[in-house]
């Protein structure tokens, strides 16, 4: 056990669930897009997406990505173009859809898919591209102009926005993804900021796309319960929808609490001069209620040393996403562009603790350990 664990998920308490559980007992509907799933989808669209677009609940984001890719992909395409710097679920979902991941690099500052490489790859691979799958890195919003243009050119786009539920777009206070015509996939895993255990949501401004995903997620059934498309079972139970409804009620407080802790990190990094000593963090877009706090170590000896040092102070940290996807056995044979920034960042990335009961002293203790590692070259 660590004094300071990496994450301490804190899901909604049972008292908040009771009224919804009573609804389930009264209706005796336990799944199949029942009333609580419907209510949750309706509230999400009204409260977070300003009434624009449609959404369907899914059992987890991985299956949401699979369904979205499967419903969007161009039939003659071969590749799912995506960053290597993402969670393994992104390329795995593409492989389950019979596609080959094609890995691109990330930008050195905001750690999002490299825009010049994307344009070059779209030009070079042309019709061989089945779908483009950007990842909204660590919950940050991304500029969707480029992806709107791809959609206009007939290239499907599915955004892995697993950690971005609760993130606002850079230009306004709406939920990131609002109005986007491709699919936007969110995760509600317990370790995410909006955590329900296992769950997720697919959003799109394209109601028709959401309707197809809903149908595919229920065995591809038509209204006469005939399977008419490649389906599977991705449905969220009514119990989990109850948790999601209660979580939505308390979500504003969770977002604010996380912003406060992120503020502690920024203050401590400044006060202890870490940014002048070569440490750096991600350039974010929008208000992002982070799942954890990511930093790049200045040291080429890399992040393993930082993890060991933190552990010796009873602080648990991780290295998301190191190894990057192209460095993992399952994806080693996939095609990729030059991945210099990905590899540079994968060697240096450190994921620091973030959970709601952390206070300023906890954050100070973590940042102090980082500072002690670069003391020798202090300014
Ligand atoms: C968490 C995460 C997923 C997987 O979400 P699940 O709901 O656990 O399937 C996919 N992609 C990224 C980038 C994630 O962070």
Q: What angle do CA 345, 167, 176 make, to 5 degrees?
A: 100
Question: Residue 357 is encoded by which pair of tokens?
Answer: 């009961």
The alpha carbon of 262 and the centre of ligand 1 are apart by a number of angstroms equal to 22
Ligand 1 proximity of 104 Cβ (cutoff 6 Å): no
Ligand 1 proximity of 187 Cβ (cutoff 6 Å): yes
Residue 173's pLDDT band, with cuts at 50, 70 and 90, is confident
Question: Residue 171 is encoded by which pair of tokens?
Answer: 């230009």
Ligand 1 proximity of 162 Cβ (cutoff 6 Å): yes
pLDDT for residue 300: 66
Ligand 1 proximity of 160 Cβ (cutoff 6 Å): yes
Ligand 1 proximity of 87 Cβ (cutoff 6 Å): yes
With beta carbons less than 8 A apart as the criterion, state whether 26 and 374 touch: no
The alpha carbon of 291 and the centre of ligand 1 are apart by a number of angstroms equal to 12
- What SS3 state is found at 324? coil
Q: Whose CA is nearest to atom 5 of ligand 1?
A: 61
Q: In the predicted model, is pLDDT for residue 283 greater than 50?
A: yes
**Candidates 9, 69, 89, 200: which one to mutate for ligand 1, based on the most atoms within 8 Å of Cβ?**
89
pLDDT for residue 176: 98
Ligand 1 proximity of 189 Cβ (cutoff 6 Å): yes
The alpha carbon of 160 and the centre of ligand 1 are apart by a number of angstroms equal to 8
pLDDT for residue 62: 98
Residue 374's pLDDT band, with cuts at 50, 70 and 90, is confident
With beta carbons less than 8 A apart as the criterion, state whether 84 and 135 touch: no
Q: How far is CA 148 from CA 151, 155, 177, 178, in A?
A: 5, 10, 11, 12
Over residues 10-55, the pLDDT tens digits come to 999 999 999 999 999 999 999 999 999 999 999 999 999 999 999 9
The alpha carbon of 335 and the centre of ligand 1 are apart by a number of angstroms equal to 22
- CA-CA distance, 257 to 250, in Å (whole number)? 11
Name the range with the highest mean pLDDT among 111-125, 270-284, 362-376: 111-125
The alpha carbon of 186 and the centre of ligand 1 are apart by a number of angstroms equal to 8
Ligand 1 proximity of 141 Cβ (cutoff 6 Å): no
State what percent of residues in the chain have pLDDT above 70.
Answer: 98
Residue 379's pLDDT band, with cuts at 50, 70 and 90, is very low
Question: Residue 265 is encoded by which pair of tokens?
Answer: 């990190």
**Candidates 137, 189, 292: which one to mutate for ligand 1, based on the most atoms within 8 Å of Cβ?**
189
Scanning the chain, the segments in alpha helix (DSSP H) are 14-27, 35-47, 61-72, 89-96, 115-125, 145-152, 207-216, 238-249, 251-271, 303-312, 340-348, 360-373
Q: Which atom of ligand 1 is nearest to the CA of 291?
A: 15
Q: Which atom of ligand 1 is nearest to the CA of 187?
A: 7
Q: What is the DSSP string of 238-274?
A: HHHHHHHHHHHHTHHHHHHHHHHHHHHHHHHHHHTTT
Residue 269: closest CA among 303, 287, 299, 293 = 293
Over residues 215-248, the pLDDT tens digits come to 999 999 999 999 999 999 999 999 999 999 999 9
Q: What is the mean pLDDT of residues 251-277?
A: 95
Q: What is the mean pLDDT of residues 344-353?
A: 96
pLDDT for residue 302: 80
Average of per-residue pLDDT values in the chain: 96
HSE, side-chain direction, 13 A CA sphere, residue 284: 20
Q: What is the pTM of this model?
A: 0.97
Over residues 117-145, the pLDDT tens digits come to 999 999 999 999 999 999 999 999 999 99
Neighbours of 27 (CB within 10 A): 12
The alpha carbon of 342 and the centre of ligand 1 are apart by a number of angstroms equal to 19
pLDDT for residue 376: 55
State what percent of residues in the chain have pLDDT above 90.
Answer: 95
Question: Residue 124 is encoded by which pair of tokens?
Answer: 């070079």
The alpha carbon of 94 and the centre of ligand 1 are apart by a number of angstroms equal to 13
Virtual torsion, Cα 94, 95, 100, 104, nearest 10 deg? 50
With beta carbons less than 8 A apart as the criterion, state whether 281 and 294 touch: yes
Ligand 1 proximity of 131 Cβ (cutoff 6 Å): no
pLDDT for residue 170: 81
The alpha carbon of 90 and the centre of ligand 1 are apart by a number of angstroms equal to 8
Q: In the predicted model, is pLDDT for residue 71 greater than 90?
A: yes
């Amino acid at each position: 056990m660590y004094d300071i664990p990496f994450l301490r998920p804190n899901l909604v308490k049972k008292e908040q669930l009771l009224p919804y559980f009573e609804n389930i007992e009264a209706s005796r509907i336990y799944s199949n897009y029942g009333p609580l799933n419907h209510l949750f989808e309706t509230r999400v669209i009204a409260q977070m997406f300003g009434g624009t677009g449609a959404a369907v609940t899914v059992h987890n984001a991985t299956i949401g990505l699979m369904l979205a890719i499967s419903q969007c992909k161009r039939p003659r395409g071969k590749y799912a173009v995506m960053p290597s710097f993402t969670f393994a679920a992104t390329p795995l979902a593409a492989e389950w859809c019979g596609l080959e991941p094609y890995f691109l690099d990330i930008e050195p500052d905001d750690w999002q898919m490299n825009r010049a490489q994307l344009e070059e790859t779209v030009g070079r691979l042309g019709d061989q591209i089945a779908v483009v799958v950007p990842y909204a890195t660590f919950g940050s919003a991304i500029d969707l102009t480029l992806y709107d243009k791809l959609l206009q050119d007939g290239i499907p786009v599915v955004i892995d926005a697993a950690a971005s539920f609760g993130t606002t777009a850079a230009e306004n206070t709406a939920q990131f993804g609002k109005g986007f015509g491709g699919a936007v996939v969110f995760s509600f895993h317990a370790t995410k900021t909006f955590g329900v255990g296992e769950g997720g949501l697919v959003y799109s401004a394209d109601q028709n796309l959401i309707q197809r995903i809903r149908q595919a997620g229920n065995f591809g059934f038509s209204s006469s319960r005939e399977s008419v498309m490649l389906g599977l079972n991705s449905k969220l139970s009514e119990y989990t929808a109850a948790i999601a409804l209660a979580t939505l009620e308390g979500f504003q407080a969770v977002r604010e609490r996380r912003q406060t802790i992120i503020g502690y990190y920024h203050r401590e990094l400044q006060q202890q001069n870490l940014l002048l000593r070569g440490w750096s963090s991600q350039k974010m877009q929008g208000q992002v209620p982070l799942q954890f706090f990511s930093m790049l170590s200045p040291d080429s000896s890399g992040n393993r040393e930082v993890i060991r040092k933190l552990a010796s102070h009873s602080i648990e940290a991780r290295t998301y996403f190191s190894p990057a996807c192209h460095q993992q056995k399952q994806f080693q044979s996939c095609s990729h562009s030059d991945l210099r920034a990905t590899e540079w960042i994968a060697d240096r990335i450190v994921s620091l603790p973030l959970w709601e009961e952390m206070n300023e002293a906890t954050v100070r203790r973590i940042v102090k350990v980082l500072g002690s590692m670069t003391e020798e070259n202090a300014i």
